[in-house]
Amino acid sequence: MNSLLTIFLGMVLINNFILSKFLGLCPFFGVSKKLTNAISMGTAVTLVMVIASVATSIIHKYILIPYDVEFMNIIIYILVIAALVQIVEIVIKRTNITLYNALGIYLPLITTNCAVLGVTLINAQNNYSLMQSIISALGGGLGFTLILIIMSAIREKNELADTPKSMRGLPIAFIIASLLSLAFMGFNGLL
Amino acid sequence: MMEIEEKFTAKRFWKEIAKGIVLTNPVFVLVLGLCPTLAVTTSVDNALGMGAGVIFVLLGSNIIISLIRKITPNMVRIPVFIVVIAAFVTILSLLFEAYIPPLYESLGIYLPLIVVNCIILGRAEVFASKNPVLLSMADGIGVGLGFTVSLIIISFLREVLGTGSLQIFGKKLFAIPVLSQSPLTIFIMPPGAFIVIALLMALFKLLGVLKNE
């Protein structure tokens, strides 16, 4: 139990995907301009991360290891993630049209989001069990969502500020990310 | 993008390479492939390793995708591209693990993550799937070099500021007297990566603004 909590907190605060591992930066800078978009994107990523972690950790344990083809994990994982994203999209479309409209355009983008492939590779690298994989994916996804929400709130305010011409847009967003990353380094001593 | 298959000439080959490095620099101009750019630029060694890896994968996948461009059904082209790219990344990661284990260790999960580097899939979709083999090769080398040059610039600044000295392949090239005793360690940590790339992007933007005026 203790180790699960350690994994969870580690993924949310200390090894945060965006601020310390630099994973999923494209959607981070792409959709962090508005708070509502940030929440939708975060939810979609967390959902796909958890499902992908379950699928890949089962495949890793029952197919890749018994047949001694662990080196194939990159190809297998990316195919599993691409297929899962399609399935999740179809299921959500059929069952919950409101959710589909909210997440719709973000789902296809997730296939090439390195955070999703990243979490499955981290799980495999650390030999996490099924439960540990789920917790680490959940932590990673929530950490991603948290930073996306904080960032979008700051950027909404920042729109009103008078920024020098050459710093407008991405450069200032990177500076904000840098300060956030500095703040989150304070959590390093937590565990 | 309506790119008609152009005739191959040596001039066009070099033009394609130069375009990738300067005009369509993947990092500073197109802002693609950010994750590895920030993650592996803690030292020039890592940047060189990552750059070499990306050039290898980009070249290989561009060649194969260009070769099969006429027999790939349009509907399934993206999955086909991804499988080709993933195959090259697997080859690369096995090669690194066998021949350069220290680099393999320090690149960690960012090596397999080359699969989802948007630069590679982007070039496959925009260029290699529409152009003949030799031009696609040139494009792969050009964009790969552009990416590597950007990585080297960022990692040079981060390593020099963050450690006060520069090491390439384990050999110390120079050390700055005061800085190496009390280095600005923040630059080799995550916040430093964000600051360096923010300032470099602002610089590129400023140059663009000055040029237009």
Please tell me which of the candidates B89, B197, B201 has its beta carbon nearest to residue A74.
B89
For residue B212, tell me if it sits in a domain: no
Radius of gyration, CA atoms only, chain A: 17
For residue B95, tell me if it sits in a domain: yes
pLDDT in tens, A111-130: 767 888 889 988 888 888 89
For residue B128, tell me if it sits in a domain: yes
- B 21-40: CB under 8 A from A: 31-32, 34-36, 38-39
> In this prediction, what percent of chain B has a pLDDT beyond 90?
23
> B213 pLDDT band (50/70/90 cuts)?
low
Residue A137: predicted pLDDT: 93
State whether A185 and B194 contact (CB < 8 Å). Answer: no
Residue A14: CB partners within 8 Å, gap ≥ 6?
A: A20, A184, A187, A188, A190, A191
From chain A, the residues in CB contact with B32 under 8 A are 26
Residue B94: CB partners within 8 Å, gap ≥ 6?
A: A71
Mean pLDDT computed over every residue of chain B? 84
Q: Which of B30, B116, B154, B203 to mutate to probe the A interface, most A CBs <10 Å? A: B116
Poorest-confidence range of A63-77, B29-43, B130-144? B29-43
From chain A, the residues in CB contact with B201 under 8 A are 170-171, 174
- Is the pLDDT higher at A178 or at B183? A178
State whether B89 and A82 contact (CB < 8 Å). Answer: no
Residue B173: predicted pLDDT: 76
For residue B171, tell me if it sits in a domain: no
* Domain boundaries, position B54: 10-21+30-155
For residue B110, tell me if it sits in a domain: yes
* DSSP structure string for A96-146: -HHHHHHHTTHHHHHTT-HHHHHHHHHHHHTT--HHHHHHHHHHHHHHHHH
For residue B44, tell me if it sits in a domain: yes
CA angle B116, A20, A38 (to 5 degrees): 70
pLDDT in tens, B170-181: 777 777 877 778
Count structural domains, chain B.
1
Residue B24: predicted pLDDT: 67
For residue B208, tell me if it sits in a domain: no
Answer yes or no: is pLDDT of B2 > 50: no
Dist CA A162 CA A110 (whole Å): 33
For residue B163, tell me if it sits in a domain: no
From chain A, the residues in CB contact with B205 under 8 A are 165-167, 169, 171
Note the ipTM here: 0.84
Most confident of A71-75, B91-95, B103-107: B91-95
> A2 pLDDT band (50/70/90 cuts)?
low
From chain B, the residues in CB contact with A169 under 8 A are 205
Number of residues that make up chain A: 191
Q: Is B126 on the interface with A (CB under 8 A)?
A: no
